[in-house]
Every structure is written in structure tokens, then in C-alpha cells.
Amino acid sequence: MIMTSITNSGWWVKLKRFCAPVPLLGWLLGALGAVILEHIAGDPFSELLGLPKIPVLFGALVMLKKPLLIPSVLLYVLVIYGMPPALVGRLFSGLANRAAEKLLRFSKPFSVLIHLALLYAILHTWSDLSAYRLLTLKFTLIAVMLTLSLNVINGYMGEFSCSHPGFMALGAYVASTFTLSLFVNDRLFGEALLPAGLGPFLFPVALILGGLVAALGALVVAIPSFRTRGDYLAIISLAFMFIVKSLFENLEIVGGPRGMGSQPNWANLPTVFVWTVLCVWIINNFVRSTMGKALNAVRDDETAADAMTVNTRKTKMVGFLFAAFWAGVAGGLFAHVLRYINPGTFGIQRLAEGLAMVYFGGLNSVYGSILGAVSLSFLSEALRPLEILKWIIIPLLLILVMIFRPTGLIAFKEFNVGNLIKPKNTAPIED
């Protein structure tokens, strides 16, 4: 009801009409303009407005800490972040449309690459201004990977898995052990075996190894739980999560409950960005493939899917292991971003966080996972000044979303890159 009243009101229609002719390329260029503007004019402008420094997270932190500064922060956000996209997007929409069309005619992969490069440039410029932004951005990207992989199980497959923190822990520990033992002199594993210069090149190997071990762990869960339909995956995966956590607590060789630290700083923004893009790309292709459609069929009606010659057990196994692999990779990246892990990091709280992101964003949808991960990561950082009240607001928000949109904000929507990058208001182009 609230939604329809918003979508029918005058300013919403106006905004929609204003945005309609701008292609994604235009928005990206506008956003790039915004972050460059912030780079150049952010400091003097915030000084002019009486702000202590550049508002780090779009002013959310400053507004909550000092309510008196709200008008200046709003002005800052409007001028720095609002104007350039609006101006560039609107004024050059014809140009951007033609450029997008040319790119798409030239080659679709090339066009996608250009878009991604622009996106990276925006993120890089934005996060360049403070270390806090950079860290938040990296964790957000990792959260996108985790949410998406959990969505494969809980959304596309329709099971309820609780073992994601366990897979993440497996990936994190394996990748950390790999890098620490081979390339770093540290207290747990002693001398480095290989020169440290080789490390960044072998870092993907560490991540993939972590992912594979996580998938192996998933096999332990999958074999018993997919013999029967029902809620046994929920319970076996929960037990698995506790087992993994307890296992690492008792393994003195990886630091026991004290955990392991000083991982090499190889998970810089380009690395995390590339892995996130890879993850989104591969998972999106997976869920749109025959296998992904089989997953959906199994979710909707296992008996009917079986009758349609879908090998249900194998389908579920593959989906589960695939998701676990990406959780493991995300865990490896997480360990190298935070550069410290202990078993307590991968407990119930992380599970609640992951589930919240999946169900907030929307089941069965790549858009939803990205939205859920980004908005909840951002929200939990932005509400930090409220301290403990944050843990009332976020759960309340989730309960409301669940009540009014039980499958999440953007559920059951296909992520079509071709549609996303095509120019607006022009004749459709043949592939």
C-alpha cells in the first residue's frame, strides 16, 4: 500500500521521467564525475560548510553524531554526489546513449569491460580518500560474494543452510595457512618457504584452494542431508558449523582459540573487486544455466522435477558444493582483508548476518543479493554512532521487510547484463 502510494505520487513519476533516458553508462560517468569532484573540491567545500572533514559515509556518521550539522551535510551530499550524476546524466544522455550503442555494436564483452572499468574507477576514487572507506568497501564486496553464494542454496535451491560461516572459516584458514606458511616468516609456521615476491601471483591459488576445501567440507554436509527432503539440511549444516568452529578452536597448529594473524596484505581493492566480479559473473551464469533451472525445479516440486528426468540428488549436491566453494573463496579474501582470524569470527553472529542479507535483499535474485549485502553492510556501518541501538533498528527493519515482502525486496528477478548496459530509448540491437 505504501509502495503504491509512493509510486503514484507526482514527484516519483517526475523522477522516473527524468531518469528514463539515461543509460547505465551515463550514470557511471556521472558518478565518476561526483567522486572526482569530491577529490578536488571535497576538502574546501566541507570547510566552507563548517564540516570537520569530508563526510566519510555520505554523511551518515556525522549526522547521527552531531544533529546540528544535518543541513550542511545534506547540502554537501546534494552538491557533491547529487549534482554531477544529474547534470552529466541528463545533459549528456544523448551522447551516452550513442556511446553505449557504439560499444554494444562493437562487442558486448568489451562494453561490459568498459562498464566494469568505470565502476572500478568510481570505487577506487571514492575509497581513495580514507582508509575507513576502503575497508568498508572491501568488506561490502566480500559480503556480496557471501550473500550471493548463500542465495544459491537458500533462494535458488530452496533449502535452509546454516553452514556458511563454516565454509567461510574453512576457506579463510586454508588460504591463510597457505600464504603464511609459504611466504611469511611468522610464529606459527616458521620460515617462509618461497620468496615473498612470488606471493601475489600465487594468491589466487590460495583462494581457490580454500574454496575447494570448503566444497569438500560441503560434501560432508551434503551426503547425509540430501538423502531425505526436509529440514535436515538446516540441522546438519548447523551442526557442521559448530563442528568446524570447535575444530579450529582445538587445532593448536593454526593458533587455536587465539587465531592467526599478520596475513600478507595482498587483498587490495583490485583483487577483491576482480574476485567479486568473477563471483557474480559465474554464479549468475550458473543460476541461468540448465543446472540452475534444475535447481529451481527441485525447489518448486522435487517429485515433478524427478519425473522430468532431473537428477535431483546430483543437482542439489552440485548447487550446494558450488555455493560452498564461493563461500570459501570469500572467506580467504576476508582473512586477508582483516589480516586476523579466530574461530569466534565464524560463529552464529556471522550466520545471522548472512541470512539477514539474503532475505532482506531478496531470494532467487542476483540483484537482491547485491542490494541486501550492500545496504545492510552500509547500514551497519552508518548506524555505528547509535551504538547498541543499532541492533534494535536493523532487526526491526528486517522484521518489517519480512512481514510486508516475505521473499525480500527484489526477489525472483533475473540479472540480465545485456539489458543493463544497453542504451535507453533506442531501437533494440541484435546480438
List C-alpha distances in Å: 249 to 213, 223, 356: 18, 25, 26
Q: Is 297 in the site for other proteins (CB under 8 A)?
A: no
Closest-CA residue to 204 (of 222, 234, 179): 179
Which member of 126, 139, 240, 320 binds other proteins (CB under 8 A)?
240
Place of cell 580467504: 332
Residue span 310-339 as binding mask against other proteins, x where in contact by CB under 8 A, dash where not: ------------------------------
Residues 301 and 69: their CA atoms lie apart, in Å, by 55
DSSP state of 67: G
If the CB atoms of residues 160 and 367 are measured against other proteins, the closer one turns out to be 160
Q: Is 2 in the site for other proteins (CB under 8 A)?
A: no
**To the nearest 5 percent, what fractions of the chain are helix, strand and coil?**
75, 0, 20
Closest-CA residue to 172 (of 352, 321, 329): 329
Give the amino acid at 114. Answer: I
Residue span 147-166 as binding mask against other proteins, x where in contact by CB under 8 A, dash where not: -------x---x-x------
If the CB atoms of residues 190 and 395 are measured against other proteins, the closer one turns out to be 395
| Least distance between other proteins and beta carbon 216 (Å) | 16
42: part of which helix (H) or strand (E)?
helix 24-48
Only segment of 187-195, 239-247, 272-280, 317-325 that touches other proteins (CB under 8 A): 239-247
Size of the site for other proteins (CB under 8 A): 44
Taking every pair of C-alpha atoms in the chain, what is the biggest distance, in angstroms? 69
Which member of 48, 399, 420, 429 binds other proteins (CB under 8 A)?
399
Cβ proximity of 369 and 148 under 8 Å: yes
Cβ-based neighbour number of residue 58 at 10 Å = 15
Q: Is 236 in the site for other proteins (CB under 8 A)?
A: yes
- Residue list 368-397, contact with other proteins (CB under 8 A): 388-389, 391-392, 395-396
Q: Is 306 in the site for other proteins (CB under 8 A)?
A: no
Only segment of 139-147, 205-213, 221-229, 326-334 that touches other proteins (CB under 8 A): 221-229
Only segment of 21-29, 88-96, 198-206, 402-410 that touches other proteins (CB under 8 A): 402-410
| Least distance between other proteins and beta carbon 154 (Å) | 6
| Least distance between other proteins and beta carbon 405 (Å) | 9
Only segment of 63-71, 275-283, 329-337, 353-361 that touches other proteins (CB under 8 A): 353-361
What's the grid cell of residue 242? 559448530
Residues 96 and 99: their CA atoms lie apart, in Å, by 5
- Residue list 65-124, contact with other proteins (CB under 8 A): none
Place of cell 567479486: 276
Q: Is 246 in the site for other proteins (CB under 8 A)?
A: yes
Closest-CA residue to 335 (of 195, 218, 210): 210
